[in-house]
Amino acid sequence: MAAAFTDDPTIPDTAILWRRIPPGDVYLVFDESLNRSRPSSAAFQDSKDGSPMSVFIADDLDGPHDALAGHDGFYLVGFSAGVARECGLSVVRDPANDPPGHAFVVGAKTKSHCRKLARRCRWIVGPPDP
Amino acid sequence: MTTLSVYDPGLDMLSDGAVLPVMPEWSGEPVGSKRDRRTPWLERARLALHPEPMWRSGGHRPDWLDDAVLRLARLLELEPDWDSYGARAVSIAAADTALVLLLGLAGPETPAPHIVPTPAGGVQIEWHTPRLDLEVEIRSPTRVFVGYEFSDTGEEGEFPVTSDFRHLADLVSGLTDERR
């Protein structure tokens, strides 16, 4: 399993990774320095079952609906694999490829790392404009 | 009535004479129950706010306080796996601690906080002003972590808070100063 958590060089820095964001205002914050709403950094922590942060590789899916299947109302954000690597994190495909296109962002995530991901991600499926 | 005693050692250092509220003992449904947790928590919050604490700066009730209390109560309604990644339900203790910290550190001139849940069942209080990103993550009453970044200087850092709240209090004061 250790080998599975080695950064995957076949995933380029330009690859866009998608992550689901809960519906409504659960994670929504307004960043005055960016002058826009974005998800909280709390949205970029590892899962509580011990598995690393779960993402989808956008190019491996047919569209956002694949990442949101079964999650009505959820939003979707995207950030590049390069941003994750700037934080010293690794990007690896899910060895089980279940669901297809599933990947992990692996490594210890400081508050600074989570904040960087939150500030640099973009809405793919976002909340309606206020 | 039960004091969140973990904060007692730091009170003198953070409060400038302010009187922190005491959260009454939890007597609602057991933690993890699917029964209503919002209503009994709101009742406790109201008791904690009566009589009104002396605010850290200024003499009036913060405009953001009612929204913050309601927000914390709403977060307690989230079911486990609310994020689709296996998140835990927000704990009563985290909500209690968030309210006590807000009342102890923030005043009427402090910008309104964002309050979000964390996957571990905690609460994160955030401010994102033009100059400062400040995040206070409450994992439990004894595990509080702070992250901050100044946009003008690029200075950033993170630190745990145990009993000495001075650094955190200075950062929160900086938010207020920025608005003046």
Can you tell me the distance from the alpha carbon of B130 to that of B139, in angstroms, rounded to the nearest whole number?
A: 27
CA distances B178 to B53, B173, B175, Å, are 24, 9, 5
Q: Which residues of A touch B126 (CB under 8 A)?
A: 29, 40-41
CB contact under 8 A, A42 and B87: no
pLDDT per residue as tens digits for the range A7-61: 999 999 999 999 999 999 999 999 999 999 999 999 999 988 888 999 999 999 9
Spatial distance between the Cα atoms of B83 and B121, rounded to a whole number of angstroms: 11
* Contact at CB, B82 and A22, closer than 8 angstroms: yes
For residue range A65-122, what is the model confidence (pLDDT) as tens digits?
Answer: 999 999 999 999 999 999 999 999 999 999 888 889 999 999 999 999 999 999 999 9
Cβ atoms of A104 and A54 within 8 Å: the answer is: yes
Binary contact (A110, B151; C-beta < 8 A): no
Q: What is the pLDDT of residue B25?
A: 67
- For A55, other C-beta atoms within 10 Å of its C-beta total 25
pLDDT in tens, B126-153: 999 999 999 999 998 889 999 999 999 9
Task: Of A42-46, A52-56, B18-22, B59-63, give the lowest mean pLDDT range.
Answer: B18-22
What CA–CA distance (Å, rounded) separates B81 from B36? 17
Mean per-residue pLDDT, B150-164: 91
The CA distance from B49 to B26, in Å, is: 15
- The radius of gyration of chain B from alpha carbons, rounded to an integer in Å, stands at 16
DSSP classification of residue A66: H
How far apart are the C-alpha atoms of A38 and B125, rounded to whole Å? 15
Q: What is the ipTM of this complex?
A: 0.92
- Work out how many CB contacts closer than 8 A connect A with B: 79
Burial A91-113 (b: 16+ CB within 10 A, else e): bbbbeeeeeebbbbbbbebebbb
Q: Omega of the bond prior to A99 within 30 degrees of 0, cis?
A: yes
A27–B133: do the CB atoms touch at under 8 Å? Answer: no
Quote the pTM value: 0.88
Q: Give dist(CA A4, CA A108) in Å, integer.
A: 16
